[in-house]
Chains A and B, each alone.
Chain A
Amino acid sequence: GAGVSQSPSNKVTEKGKDVELRCDPISGHTALYWYRQSLGQGLEFLIYFQGNSAPDKSGLPSDRFSAERTGGSVSTLTIQRTQQEDSAVYLCASSLTKGEKLFFGSGTQLSVL
């Protein structure tokens, strides 16, 4: 596609359930980032991939959060045993190797009831 695609665009789940959020980066972009945007807050860094490896996962809030990237392309962010404080917009961005211009997707709005 022409841009970064994220799915689903909206996800409502019950507390304690697991969720998977998907990101399809722009073809050829080796760098991929996940950010979290809470209401009225800035963008909180979660994890960065270069190819399939994650040299920086320092932003993952707890061990309930994990992410993987396969084939140097699609990435999945998994949140286990969701909590209400996990409610936020999860944004994915991709860029060419050295990441000077980030291209963001429109995000997944996660609501944990």
Chain B
Amino acid sequence: QQQVKQSPQSLIVQKGGISIINCAYENTAFDYFPWYQQFPGKGPALLIAIRPDVSEKKEGRFTISFNKSAKQFSLHIMDSQPGDSATYFCAARGTSGTYKYIFGTGTRLKVLA
């Protein structure tokens, strides 16, 4: 049973544009929502993360928006660059004591030069 739904599956953006990736979760027993970036042949790397007690977190060109009531969160990449071309995964961490992360299915982003 998929507990974190991610969209779109793929995204093409012009250089300098804004990339937006959305995730929705079903289980309320999550306490931490990270985004991971993965380049081909590499493991995912933490990009930015948010806790449910805040609605927005910004780090450089990357912003997470979090809507607790709607159980949705999104990643915004401002001024997208070709080097941002990668696969992005949202995730949610469980609070049941196992600290298990449930990942979305990923979004393949391509930024055109």
Query: Which A residues form the contact surface with B (CB < 8 A)?
Result: 4, 31, 33, 35, 41-45, 48, 50, 55-56, 58, 91, 93, 98-102, 104-107
Contact = CB atoms under 8 A, between A and B. Distances in A.
A99 B43 contact: no
A45 B102 contact: yes
A101 B101 contact: no
Given A42-B105, A43-B89, A100-B32, A107 B43 contact: yes
B45 A104 contact: yes
Interface in B40-69: 41-46, 49
Given A33-B101, A42-B103, A93 B49 contact: no
A43 B97 contact: no
Contact of B44 (A43, A55, A56, A98): A43
Nearest to A9: B41
B15 interface: no
B101 to A, nearest CB: 7
Determine which residue in B44, B93, B102, B104 has the highest number of CB atoms from chain A within 10 A of its CB, and name it: B44
Given A99-B99, A105-B43, 13 more contacts: A31-B99, A42-B105, A43-B91, A43-B103, A45-B101, A45-B103, A48-B98, A91-B44, A100-B32, A100-B93, A101-B46, A102-B36, A104-B43
Interface of B: 6, 32, 34, 36, 41-46, 49, 89, 91, 93, 97-106
A58 B99 CA distance: 13
Nearest to B42: A106
29 contacts: A33-B100, A41-B106, A42-B6, A42-B104, A42-B105, A42-B106, A43-B44, A43-B89, A43-B91, A45-B100, A48-B99, A50-B99, A55-B98, A56-B98, A56-B100, A93-B43, A98-B99, A99-B93, A99-B99, A99-B101, A100-B49, A100-B93, A101-B34, A101-B46, A104-B36, A104-B44, A104-B45, A105-B43, A106-B42
A106 B43 CA distance: 4
A42 B101 CA distance: 12
